[in-house]
């Protein structure tokens, strides 16, 4: 399958994407892909360096006749989100991504594909090894840990880069030029709790929500997709109001930047309430199917009796927990009043775990307005106050303020119209891009982000469109030719 993909056009890009996808590269564990990128530059005989945090920089001189053009930075991140379906047997630490072609799309077998941001990395690799592509002198900047903290961008030091224009190859719609983005902050709530013995005679049930669409917690938050953690809490809250519910375990979601697709719980109930359990659960299932018929058509719900457990959370704690989780904001917090159709502030309740006396909830707040981001953090703190949970935040990163009249924006928007006979959507996105952080150390650098059509990023449904990659590649090459003479 990978051999077929490596033969797609443009061959140099797809070949390098295939090679890259053979290298495990989860966020926080990028040692192997850093070594891969470093060796790639050195084997080409190009000046290559790795900074203190692991960012790789490879410098390539201008092609003949382009020596007087403005120097560029071409930037993408090395890490990828490692997510798989529960029934997929795959070891991300040892196996390369198993890819296949489905019509006009490249997909992976039950895992994330790594097109985010592997297509960008592969594009830059293809340019670095090219001998017949016109381009100014450029610096290839491969950052690390974009997906779970942007520590690569945060660790980038002033003076490391010489380029005056940065092209970030990390967006997911080929008709968009992104010139601004939201900032973000991680919010964590945790609490230790007491357990009690399960009452004699209680039955134990397993409940699972799965098959939700999932997706990127920034770019896809506007779609109103089902959040498995919030849906499961909705059901548990209803059950808690109708019967003597005991909660042994909650396990939902995973990465902060992925809308959770699955959640499972183990509960106990009095035998005389089995019919009530089934009635409430069936009503819940029917309601969710109706509400999410369009957004989450593959929603699955499972309820079955299971092996008995001996411990459940103390009733006072579990009831307060369900109320607290109900109150935590999720999804769109506020739309932009200045950019039509853009989410300004949101939150993703990404992970909820409760078992063995320890509770933890992880969220990711995003906003293009810092004060509103802070306000949403206060809302989360207030929700968990009823539980007495410890709430902390970290990983705060800035947004990227748009410059719609910059020279590179004018050049690329005009070129897009010339090449494709339509206007590009020049926009700011509701996602964390490294441009905002890089710009804090390089405030005079002009920046644009663009890329091919990628769908389902951060989920096992991730796919990249073959024809769109060809369109994006041609646009990138023509942009390189048009970079102006250095002033």
Q: In this structure, are residues 257 and 148 in contact, taking their beta carbons and an 8 Å threshold?
A: yes
Structure confidence at residue 277 (pLDDT): 97
Q: What is the CATH number of domain 2-182+399-482?
A: 3.40.630.10
Phi first, then psi: give them for residue 10, nearest 5 degrees.
-75, 130
Q: 216 has which bridge partners?
A: 258
Q: Peptide bond preceding 359: is omega within 30 degrees of 0, i.e. cis?
A: no
CA distance linking residue 245 with residue 267, whole number of Å: 7
Q: Is the pLDDT of residue 383 over 90?
A: yes
Q: Is the pLDDT of residue 79 over 80?
A: yes
What's the fold here for domain 185-397?
A: Alpha-Beta Plaits (3.30.70)
Q: In this structure, are residues 417 and 424 in contact, taking their beta carbons and an 8 Å threshold?
A: yes
Q: Picking from 39-43, 108-112, 396-400, which range would have the lowest pLDDT averaged per residue?
A: 396-400
**pLDDT tens, position by position, 56-66:** 999 999 999 99
Q: Picking from 159-173, 339-353, 461-475, which range would have the lowest pLDDT averaged per residue?
A: 339-353
User: What is the pLDDT averaged over residues 135-157?
Assistant: 94
User: What is the pLDDT averaged over residues 220-231?
Assistant: 97
The pLDDT-based confidence of 2 (bands split at 50, 70, 90) is low
Catalytic residue, candidates 30, 116, 146, 170: 146
Extended strands (E) in 90-245: 99-102, 105-108, 138-143, 165-168, 176-181, 183-192, 195-197, 203-210, 215-216
Structure confidence at residue 475 (pLDDT): 98
Structure confidence at residue 54 (pLDDT): 97
CA distance linking residue 360 with residue 389, whole number of Å: 9
3-state secondary structure of 138: strand
Structure confidence at residue 370 (pLDDT): 85
Q: In this structure, are residues 391 and 384 in contact, taking their beta carbons and an 8 Å threshold?
A: yes
Phi first, then psi: give them for residue 281, nearest 5 degrees.
-65, -40
Q: Is the pLDDT of residue 222 over 90?
A: yes
Structure confidence at residue 428 (pLDDT): 85
396 vs 264, residue with greater confidence: 264
Q: Is 214 left (phi over 0), alpha (psi -120 to 50) or beta?
A: left
DSSP characters for 404-422? Answer: TT-HHHHHHHHHHHHHHSS
Greatest pairwise CA separation for the chain in angstroms: 84
**Structural tokens at position 245:** 């519910």
Task: Tell which residue, 212, 233, 216, 437, has the closest CA to residue 348.
Answer: 216
Cα separations in angstroms, 245 against 95, 190, 248, 313:
42, 22, 10, 10
246-253 and 343-355 strand pairing: antiparallel
DSSP code for 62: P
The pLDDT-based confidence of 122 (bands split at 50, 70, 90) is very high
Angle, helices 315-327/228-242, rounded to nearest 10 degrees: 130
Q: Percent of the chain scored above 90 by pLDDT? A: 87
3-state secondary structure of 216: strand
State the SS3 of 146-170.
CCCCCHHHHHCCCCCCCCCEEEECC
Q: In this structure, are residues 19 and 116 in contact, taking their beta carbons and an 8 Å threshold?
A: no
Domain with CATH 3.40.630.10 in the chain: 2-182+399-482
Catalytic residue, candidates 79, 116, 147, 296: 79
User: What is the pLDDT averaged over residues 190-217?
Assistant: 96
Told to judge if 375 belongs to the known catalytic residues of this protein, a careful annotator would answer no
Average pLDDT, the chain: 95
Q: Which residues contact 487 (CB under 8 A, 6 or more apart)?
A: 70
Domain with CATH 3.30.70.360 in the chain: 185-397
Query: How many CA atoms lie within 13 Å of 315's alpha carbon, on the beta-carbon side?
Result: 10
Told to judge if 79 belongs to the known catalytic residues of this protein, a careful annotator would answer yes
**pLDDT tens, position by position, 86-101:** 889 999 999 999 999 9
Q: Is the pLDDT of residue 112 over 90?
A: yes
């Amino acid at each position: 399958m990978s051999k077929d993909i490596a033969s797609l056009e443009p061959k140099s890009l797809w070949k390098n994407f295939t090679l890259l996808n053979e290298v495990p590269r989860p966020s926080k564990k990028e040692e192997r892909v850093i070594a891969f990128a470093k060796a790639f530059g050195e084997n080409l005989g190009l000046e290559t360096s790795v900074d203190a945090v692991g960012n790789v920089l490879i410098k390539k001189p201008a092609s003949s006749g382009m020596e007087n053009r403005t120097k560029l930075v071409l930037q993408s991140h090395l890490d990828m989100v490692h997510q798989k379906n529960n029934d997929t047997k795959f070891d991300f630490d040892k196996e390369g991504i198993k890819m296949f072609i489905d019509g006009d799309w490249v997909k992976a077998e039950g895992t994330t594909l790594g097109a985010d941001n592997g297509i960008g990395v592969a594009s830059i690799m293809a340019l670095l090894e090219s001998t017949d592509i016109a381009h100014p002198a450029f610096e290839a900047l491969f950052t690390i840990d974009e997906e779970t903290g942007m520590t690569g961008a945060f660790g980038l030091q002033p003076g490391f880069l010489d380029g005056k224009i940065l092209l970030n190859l990390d967006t997911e719609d080929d008709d968009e030029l992104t010139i601004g983005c939201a900032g973000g902050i991680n919010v964590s709530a945790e609490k230790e709790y007491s357990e009690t013995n399960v009452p004699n005679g209680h039955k134990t049930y397993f409940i699972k929500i799965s098959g939700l669409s999932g997706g990127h917690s920034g770019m896809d938050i506007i779609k109103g997709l089902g959040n498995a953690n919030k849906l499961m809490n909705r059901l548990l809250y209803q059950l808690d109001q109708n019967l003597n519910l005991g909660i042994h375990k909650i396990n939902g979601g995973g990465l902060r930047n992925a809308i959770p697709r699955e959640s499972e719980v183990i509960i106990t109930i009095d035998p005389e309430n089995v019919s009530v359990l089934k009635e409430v659960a069936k009503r819940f299932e029917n309601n969710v199917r109706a509400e999410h018929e369009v957004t989450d058509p593959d929603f699955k719900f499972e309820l079955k009796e299971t092996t008995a457990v001996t411990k459940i959370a103390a009733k006072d704690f579990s009831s307060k927990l369900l109320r607290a989780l109900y109150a935590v904001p999720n999804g769109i917090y506020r739309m932009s009043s200045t950019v039509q159709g853009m989410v300004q502030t949101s939150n993703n309740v990404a992970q909820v775990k409760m078992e063995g006396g320890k509770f933890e909830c992880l969220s990711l707040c995003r906003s293009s307005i810092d004060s509103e981001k802070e306000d949403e953090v206060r809302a989360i703190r207030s929700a968990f106050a009823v539980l007495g949970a410890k709430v902390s935040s970290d990983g705060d990163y800035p947004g990227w303020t748009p410059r719609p009249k910059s020279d590179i924006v004018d050049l690329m928007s005009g070129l897009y119209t010339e090449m494709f006979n339509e206007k590009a959507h020049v926009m700011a996105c509701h996602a964390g891009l490294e441009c905002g952080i890089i710009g804090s150390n390089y405030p005079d650098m002009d920046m644009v982000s663009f890329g091919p059509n990628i769908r389902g990023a951060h989920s096992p449904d991730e796919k990249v469109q073959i024809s769109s990659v060809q369109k994006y590649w041609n646009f990138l090459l023509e942009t390189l030719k048009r970079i102006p003479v250095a002033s």
